[in-house]
Amino acid sequence: MSIADYWRLEAPRFRLEATKCTNCDKIYFPPKRVCPICNNDELIHMDLSGRGRLITFTKVEKPAVEFEYMGPYYVGIVELEEGIRISASIVDVAEEQIKEGMPLELAFRKYYAIGDEGIVYYGYKFRPPL
């Protein structure tokens, strides 16, 4: 990921900012610049609630190189209150605690850094509600 790419992604990565079509009201996350149903480019920004439930999950035992530092870790599919499903890392949860259907909320966490002196990437993960 480049620094410019990281900058472009700040809003959706940091606070789940989606876009909404002003014509059909469909909400897009990941955000889209153009609604492909209406061919409308007038989309408004909106923050998603950050609340949802866990649809399914697994534990990553063999991470790719960027995430080796935090393995093993949980990933899963989260259904947000707005009905949107996203993939995310699930954190602050014990082996006996994690289960399908459990409520989750947005957490702001480190993703990874490239090299010893590279920029550190942050973004959303999900945790049990505090």
Interaction of residue 122 with another protein, rule CB under 8 A: no
**Cβ at position 91, least distance to another protein in Å:** 10
Identity of the residue, 38 or 86, whose beta carbon is nearer to another protein in the bound complex: 86
Of 16, 20, 76, 104, the one binding another protein by CB under 8 A: 76
Interaction of residue 62 with another protein, rule CB under 8 A: yes
Contact window for another protein (CB under 8 A) among 19-27, 34-42, 44-52, 118-126: 118-126
CA angle 66, 113, 84 (to 5 degrees): 70
CB 54 within 8 A of CB 92: no
The strand pair at 73-80 and 27-28 is best described as unpaired
Interaction of residue 19 with another protein, rule CB under 8 A: no
CB 105 within 8 A of CB 81: no
Dump strand ranges (E) for 84-119.
Answer: 85-90, 103-113
